[in-house]
Amino acid sequence: MTVVGASLSGMYAARELRAQGFDGRLVIVGDEPHSPYDRPPLSKDFLTGRADEDQLALTDAEETTELDAEWLLGARARGLDARGRTVLLEDGRTVSTDGVVIATGASARRLPGCELAGVHTLRTLDDARALRAELTAGPRQVVVIGGGFIGAETASSCAALGHDVTVVEAAPLPLVPQLGPEMAAACAALHRRGGVGMVTGTGVAGLRGTIEVTGVELADGRTLPADVVIVGIGATPTTDWLAGSTLALHDGVLCDDGCVTGLPQVVAVGDVARVGGTRAEHWTSATEQPRVAVANLLAGRTVETTRSLPYFWSDQYGARIQFAGRRQDGDTVRIAEGELTDGAPAEGGFLALYERDGRMTAVLSVDRPRPFMRARRELLRGVDRARPAVV
C-alpha cells in the first residue's frame, strides 16, 4: 500500500493500515523533506515562539519503527497510473502498489506580487520558519489579507508579538458564510479587543514595492503601508499531479461517503478529499476520515461511511472559538449561555445555538468548551440516526 502525502491525514492513514491488519509493504511519499508535523500550531504557538519544531512532530522514533514503513520524503508525486497501480514520482522513480491513499492536502492561494520580500503565506513549516524569523527581527507594520481562521490566528499572533496589525477582508465581515452576520460580528469584535485594525468590504487591488513590499493597495483606492504582508485567502487542493488519471477531480478528489474514489483501490482523505460532496479543511476531518477510508480500501468496496458533521475550532486573542454543524440562511440563532456586550463576547464567553423548525442545526462557542461539547454530542446523535446503512 502507498500513502501519498506525509500529512496529518496521511499519518493517520498509515497508522490505520497497520491497526487494521495490513502487514505488507507500506510506502509513505511526502513532497516536503520533513517528517509529518502538526499544522495548527504554525499560526499560533510556533509563530510566537512558545513551541519549537520538535513539539510539532506527529511521530517519534518508536512509532516510526513500529510502522515499518518505507519513507520517501522530499519526493513529489507527478502521476498516478491507477489501472497499473503505480505512483509516479518527479525524480523518475515509480512505486508499484496494490492500493493508494491520497492525502496530498492543499496549498496556499497566492496573489500577484507574492514574490516580493516580506510577503508570506502560512501553510507549511518552511512558511512558518520564514515568517517567524521576520517577525522576531523587530517591530513591523503587518497587513493580513483574509479574515478567515488562518488570517485571524496569524493576526492574533502578530499582535501578541507587539506588531501593528491590520486585517483586510473583502466580505462585509469575516466568516459570515459559516457563522451568519450576528455571530460573525461577535467574533470579529475579538480583533478590536486585541488591538488589531480591520478593513472590511473591499478587496486587494495589488501589492506595492519593487524588491520589498511597501504597501497593500485596496480596491477602493486606499493604500495600507506594510513591511510584512501575510496572504491568508484560502487554499486549493493539491490535485495537479492527478491530471490525466481516471479519477474525477473537482475542487478536490471526488469520493463517496466512505472516501472511496471511482477506483476501489484508491481512497482520498483530508483537505484534498471531497467526501460525499463536501471538502472540509479541518483537523477533525483529517483525523477521522482515515479509519473509514482504510477499512474500505482493505475491503475493496465501501463498507463504512463517515460521520458528516463539520467541526472546527480557532484560538484567537486568548479566546477559543468552536463551531459544529451546518448553518443555513434562515436559521435562527440565540444565546443559550453567557452574553454579548455591545455585540462582543462578554467576559466568560457565550454559547449560541442555531435552530431550524425547532431543531438544533449548529452550535457556536466562545470560551464555553463544556456546554459546547454537550451540544456537539447531541448534533452527532442526530447525524448517526440519519446515516444510511451500508450493505
What is the reported pLDDT for 391?
Answer: 46
With 0-12 / 13-18 / 19 or more C-beta atoms within 10 angstroms meaning exposed / middle / buried, residue 239 is buried
> Are residues 218 and 229 in contact, defined by beta-carbon separation less than 8 angstroms?
no
Report the DSSP beta bridge partners of residue 345: 340
Cα–Cα distance measured from residue 289 to residue 222, given in angstroms and rounded to the nearest whole number: 44
pTM of the model: 0.93
- CA-nearest of 42, 213, 55, 33 to 131 is 42
Q: Which residues of the chain have pLDDT under 50?
A: 391
Residues 6+ away with beta carbon under 8 Å from 27: 1, 2, 3, 69, 70, 72, 95, 97
Per-residue confidence (pLDDT) for residue 83, from 0 to 100: 76
Secondary structure element (H or E) that encloses residue 4, with its range: strand 2-4
Number of H helices, E strands in the chain: 9, 25
Q: Where do the domains of the chain lie, and which CATH numbers do they carry?
A: 2-107+235-299 (3.50.50.60), 110-231 (3.50.50.60), 318-386 (no CATH)
Return the closest-CA partner of residue 59 out of 22, 23, 114, 11.
11
Grid cell digits, residue 124: 507549511
State how far the alpha carbon of 304 is from the alpha carbons of 274, 295, 389, in Å: 16, 7, 8
Choose among 218, 199, 190, 205: nearest CA to 321. 190
| Maximum C-alpha span of the chain | 62
* Spatial distance between the Cα atoms of 35 and 86, rounded to a whole number of angstroms: 23
